[in-house]
């Protein structure tokens, strides 16, 4: 019944794949917006504190759980939690480590396909072109209309009406993802990471150089952009919301709480290092975020539109910056078509390396727990993703609703379970021994206390604050999109519980609890 588990071919490949998992659209769009909105340079104080007290500890916990799984021949939290906590409920909680990434990928692949579509339209000159006008709103309107047209959001009623090309690009993106997964961990994911990651860095540096050489007719240059992002507002440090925003950004950027790192780490050998591998993956991600992500979109926007207009664009969210402001800027600079193509291709590559990571826990579950071959697992996953993606593609409001429950609250809940089950329920001393064994560097003992006390407390504070901040407005939604999304999540949860129950009954040859 069990399938021989794969392993990473090289250490570099593993680190690039893990970094590729973490580097996504958020590095280039979410980070600069968050930093600029929350105190500029001063934001980096809570950011770095969160990195040490929350990000790195959770990352190492997930790596350690994955290596523990590797020793036992399992690649998801379902079985890992079942080993750590001798309680029948543990495996069902562990299912969050499959459900969360699987559900996120349902809409993430669709958003990823927009970047491919935009990249293609940039190349063929199909993006809007607009003459320079004094008013930013007028200038951005054609780009807003283009996004609305391509996502079908202009339709009336509860159904979205995207054009055929949007659907085709979604299918192409889905097939690319499935093909990479079909090739396997070493020949697929690792190989793609080795090609895509250097390309992401080359494209980002190319764009960074172009942005740093931009000037506006009013005389603004990159120093204005960097000033907007980095000049500190120290009063922000007394605002708890700024600290929570920094913690949230660190949490999202490292991709902890998805279960994908756990799965990736389960493909290392049982006596391989996790400490330096985890740190190297995080370092590469931070390079992409702080140095490259902080030097492209928002800097270009400030040069082109000015500080006030950029603040307005950023306040509407990262998508306005990436999908409207940036192509609008590229539309009026020499070789802008090419730079627009590079920008969206960069986002596409960053998206692909993340979405394949999000798919892998489901593949690992089907292979390790049910005994399916990789081919069969990928086909099943493909059918599921194809069918499920029609919800965010065609039903208005569903994408945001799924993102809130799974991509926001779900991540924090699962990360909290990982820390609590490992350090509180399993045994903190055994957990620490598991954490520090066979590593190439020594993890300081201070992290034992951070992992046991500080990180879980931090997560609880984040969870409570997000619940109070967002839940009332989310629960007040009663449209068809919101209820479809809730029904979809409920269906997946129930289906998952039934599947796990049946699988464990079959495994144990007895009735499972």
Partner 1 sequence: MEGHLLNGYGAFFMALSWSIVIALNIYSFYKILYNKNKKQED
Positions that interact with partner 1 (CB under 8 A): 11, 15, 40-42, 44, 48, 218, 220, 223-224, 226-232, 273, 276, 279-280, 282-284, 286-287, 290-291, 302, 306-308, 311, 440-441
Residue 493: CB atoms within 10 Å: 15
CB of 295 vs partner 1, minimal distance in Å:
9
Helix, strand or coil for residue 395?
strand
Is 199 or 441 the residue whose CB approaches partner 1 more closely? 441
Ramachandran category for residue 335: left, alpha or beta (phi over 0 → left; psi -120 to 50 → alpha): left
Compute, in degrees rounded to 10, the torsion defined by CA atoms 69, 73, 74, 75.
Answer: 80
The SS3 call for residue 159 is strand
Supply the minimum distance, in Å, between the C-beta of residue 160 and partner 1: 37
Pick the closer one to partner 1 by CB: 314 or 378: 314
> Please, are residues 512 and 505 in contact by the beta-carbon 8 Å criterion?
yes
Q: How far is the CB of 286 from partner 1 (least distance, A)?
A: 5
Shortest Cβ distance from residue 15 to partner 1 (Å)?
Answer: 8
Q: C-beta of 220: minimal distance to partner 1 in Å?
A: 7
The Cβ-side half-sphere exposure at 369, using a 13 Å CA radius, reads 26
Q: Which is nearer to partner 1, 41 or 371 (CB)?
A: 41
Is there a contact between 26 and 111 (Cβ–Cβ < 8 Å)? no
Q: Which is nearer to partner 1, 48 or 454 (CB)?
A: 48
Q: How far apart are CA 192 and CA 188, in angstroms?
A: 6
For partner 1, which is the closer residue by CB, 31 or 252? 31
Instruction: Tell me whether residue 222 or residue 341 sits nearer to partner 1 (CB atom).
Output: 222
Looking at the Cβ atoms of 229 and 450, the one nearer to partner 1 is: 229
Shortest distance (Å) from residue 106 CB to partner 1: 32
Measured between alpha carbons, how far is 47 from 49 in angstroms, rounded to an integer?
A: 5
* Least distance between partner 1 and beta carbon 283 (Å): 4
Nearest to 46 by CA among 244, 232, 289: 244
Of 34, 19, 52, nearest in space to 315 by CA: 34
How far apart (Å, rounded) are the C-alpha atoms in residues 209 and 194?
A: 23
């Amino acid at each position: 019944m069990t399938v021989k588990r794969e392993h990473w071919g090289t250490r570099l490949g593993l680190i690039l794949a893990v970094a590729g998992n973490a580097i996504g659209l958020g590095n280039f769009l979410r980070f600069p917006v968050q930093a600029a909105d929350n105190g500029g340079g001063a934001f980096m104080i809570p950011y770095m504190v969160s990195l040490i007290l929350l990000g790195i500890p959770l990352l190492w916990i997930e790596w350690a759980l994955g290596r523990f799984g590797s020793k036992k021949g399992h690649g998801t939290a379902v079985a890992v939690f079942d080993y750590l906590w001798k309680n029948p409920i543990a495996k069902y909680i562990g299912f969050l480590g499959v459900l969360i990434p699987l559900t996120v990928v349902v809409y993430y692949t669709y958003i990823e396909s927009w970047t491919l579509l935009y990249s293609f339209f940039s190349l063929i000159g199909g993006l809007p072109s607009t003459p320079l006008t004094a008013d930013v709103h007028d200038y951005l309107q054609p780009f807003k209309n283009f996004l609305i047209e391509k996502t079908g959001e202009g339709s009336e009623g509860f159904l979205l009406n995207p054009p055929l090309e949007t659907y085709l690009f979604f299918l192409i993106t889905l097939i690319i993802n499935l093909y990479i997964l079909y090739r396997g961990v070493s020949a697929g994911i690792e190989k793609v990471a080795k090609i895509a990651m250097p390309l992401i860095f080359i494209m980002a540096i190319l764009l960074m150089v172009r942005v740093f050489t931009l000037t506006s007719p009013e005389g603004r240059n990159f120093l204005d952009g960097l000033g907007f992002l980095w000049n500190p507002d120290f009063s922000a440090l007394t605002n708890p919301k700024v600290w929570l925003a920094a913690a949230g950004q660190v949490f999202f950027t490292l991709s902890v709480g998805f279960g994908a790192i756990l799965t990736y780490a389960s493909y290392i050998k049982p006596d391989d290092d996790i400490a330096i591998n985890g740190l190297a993956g995080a370092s590469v991600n931070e390079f992409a975020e702080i140095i490259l992500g902080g030097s492209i979109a928002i800097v270009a926007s400030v040069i082109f539109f000015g500080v006030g207009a950029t603040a307005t664009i950023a306040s509407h969210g990262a998508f306005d910056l990436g999908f409207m402001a940036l192509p609008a800027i590229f539309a009026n600079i020499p070789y802008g078509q090419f730079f627009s193509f590079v920008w969206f291709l960069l986002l596409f590559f960053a998206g692909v390396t993340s979405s394949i990571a999000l798919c892998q826990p489901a593949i690992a579950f089907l292979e390790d727990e049910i005994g399916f071959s990789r081919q069969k697992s990928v086909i099943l996953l493909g059918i599921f993703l194809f069918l499920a993606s029609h919800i965010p593609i065609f039903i208005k409001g569903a994408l945001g609703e799924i993102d809130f429950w799974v991509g926001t609250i779900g991540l924090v809940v699962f990360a909290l379970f990982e820390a609590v089950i490992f350090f509180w329920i399993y045994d903190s001393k055994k957990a620490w021994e598991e954490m520090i064994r066979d590593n190439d560097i020594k993890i300081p003992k201070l992290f034992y206390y951070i992992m046991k006390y500080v990180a879980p407390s931090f997560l609880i504070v984040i969870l409570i604050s997000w619940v109070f901040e967002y839940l009332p407005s989310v629960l007040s939604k009663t449209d068809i999109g919101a209820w479809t999304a809730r029904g979809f999540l409920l269906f997946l949860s129930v289906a998952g519980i039934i599947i796990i129950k049946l699988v464990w009954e079959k495994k144990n040859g007895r009735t499972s609890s």
